[in-house]
């Protein structure tokens, strides 16, 4: 008994989280794909090398892919893609639109969440800057011992959501004191997301000086082999498209779901967006609208490929009226979607 009493007398007093230096806050890290640091050849080459070296993105054996990437693609593609990026570049602050928008999403999310003493919001890119590694460490240095990772991809894909998580986990592997980490799930059928995209589309369609005969709901493509290997992306895209059509009350025969941005010679998810646009023009469709709900922020694939390249295909093929309906970006509707996801995932942490 005496031994027990002595142990109790000398037991350390309880310590609250607030008394532990460098802890007690929650970090929210928005994750997007990436952006080159500039439109010049070497900036583009660095970005493309990191992106196309990711084994989640290119699932080709290294011995086969290395010479193709380093001897062919990284010699030719940086110059061409640099010119494409230059057409959409935010010259005022010398960065790509996706970086500007994702920063805006983080800043506006911090404002609507409030509680800056407890919650710190930041953003990072999977490829190039700001890096995921640097922002996780910055959140930890600000006292965040819990971090919610929010991949800004409504539909899950190994080449987007999974590689973003992989990159974050690699940072954790090198940390002595790891924060607790939670990854927000895909939100392809989330009522808040569907309602926000439908509302944005309704407003943008009402502002047009024409009524589209057809509407294309396009998503970024992926090799069919990835779907056959078990990736749920294709099915989630179809669900999103159907829910949006139903929410808007759009006739099924006038609503098409397609896939864009294919790369290489392997078959990708179909139907292809560019071929569909050209086909519709050839069939006599004169008024067309395109929306890309898989993108949380407008970027090269929407601003240059959809609103530029595909507009050219349609109008060059005989179409008369073409409209690209913007992504949610950092609009109030878009930020409300992210807020709903974050508040739900932070339950139990606050």
Nearest residue to 264 via CA among 60, 84, 49 = 60
Reading the chain (350 residues) residue by residue, the pLDDT tens digits are 455 444 445 555 555 555 666 678 999 999 999 999 999 999 999 999 999 999 999 999 999 999 999 999 999 999 999 999 999 999 999 999 999 999 999 999 999 999 889 999 999 999 999 999 999 999 999 999 999 999 999 999 999 999 999 999 999 999 999 999 999 999 999 999 999 999 999 999 999 999 999 999 999 999 999 999 999 999 999 999 999 999 999 999 999 999 999 988 899 999 999 999 999 999 999 999 999 999 999 999 999 999 999 999 999 999 999 999 999 999 999 999 999 999 999 998 98
Task: Give the torsion through C-alpha atoms of 196, 121, 146, 168, to 10 deg.
Answer: 80
**Distance (Å) of CA 321 to CA 87, 251, 272, 281:** 22, 20, 21, 11
Please say whether the dihedral angle defined by the alpha carbons of residues 80, 219, 271 and 236, taken in this order, is positive or negative. positive
Residue 141 class from Cβ within 10 Å (0-12 exposed, 13-18 middle, 19+ buried)?
A: exposed
Q: Could you confirm whether domain 25-186+332-346 is CATH 3.40.50.11890? A: no
Give residue for tokens 């601003």.
303
Is this prediction's pTM over 0.85?
Answer: yes
Task: Give the torsion through C-alpha atoms of 27, 342, 330, 336, to 10 deg.
Answer: -150
**Contact call for residues 188 and 156 (beta carbons, < 8 A):** yes
What is the C-alpha to C-alpha distance for residues 151 and 157, in angstroms, rounded to an integer? 11
What is the C-alpha to C-alpha distance for residues 248 and 126, in angstroms, rounded to an integer? 33
**Domain 191-325: top CATH class:** alpha beta
Domain ranges for the chain, please list them: 25-186+332-346, 191-325
One fold for 25-186+332-346 and 191-325: yes
């Amino acid at each position: 008994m005496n031994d027990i009493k002595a142990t109790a007398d000398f037991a350390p007093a309880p310590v609250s989280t607030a008394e532990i230096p460098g802890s007690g806050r929650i970090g929210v890290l928005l994750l997007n794909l990436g952006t080159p640091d500039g439109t010049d050849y070497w900036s583009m080459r660095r970005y493309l090398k990191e992106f196309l070296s990711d084994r989640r993105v290119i699932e080709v054996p290294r011995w086969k892919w290395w010479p193709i990437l380093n001897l062919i693609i990284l010699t030719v593609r940086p110059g061409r893609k640099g010119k494409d990026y230059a057409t959409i570049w935010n010259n005022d602050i010398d960065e790509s639109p996706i970086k500007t928008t994702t920063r805006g999403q983080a800043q506006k999310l911090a404002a609507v969440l409030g509680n800056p003493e407890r919650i710190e919001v930041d953003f990072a890119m999977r490829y190039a800057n700001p890096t995921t590694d640097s922002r996780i460490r910055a959140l930890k240095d600000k006292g965040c011992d819990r971090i919610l990772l929010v991949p800004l991809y409504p539909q899950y894909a190994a080449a987007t959501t999974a590689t973003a998580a992989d990159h974050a986990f690699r940072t954790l592997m090198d940390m002595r004191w790891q924060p607790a980490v939670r990854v927000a799930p895909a939100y392809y059928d989330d009522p808040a997301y569907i309602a926000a995209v439908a509302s944005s589309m309704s407003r943008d369609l009402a502002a047009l000086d024409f009524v589209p005969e057809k509407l294309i709901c396009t998503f970024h493509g992926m090799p069919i082999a990835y779907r056959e290997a078990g990736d749920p992306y294709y099915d989630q895209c179809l669900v999103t498209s159907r829910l949006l059509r139903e929410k808007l009350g759009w006739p099924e025969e006038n609503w098409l779901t397609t896939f864009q941005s294919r790369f290489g010679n392997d078959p990708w998810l179909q139907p292809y967006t560019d071929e569909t646009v050209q086909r519709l023009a050839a069939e006599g469709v004169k008024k067309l609208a395109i929306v890309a709900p898989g993108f949380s922020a407008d970027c090269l694939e929407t601003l240059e490929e959809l609103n530029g390249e595909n507009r050219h295909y349609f109008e060059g093929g005989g179409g008369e009226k073409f409209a690209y309906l913007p992504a949610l970006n950092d609009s109030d509707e878009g930020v409300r979607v992210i807020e709903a996801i974050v508040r739900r995932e932070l339950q139990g942490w606050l």
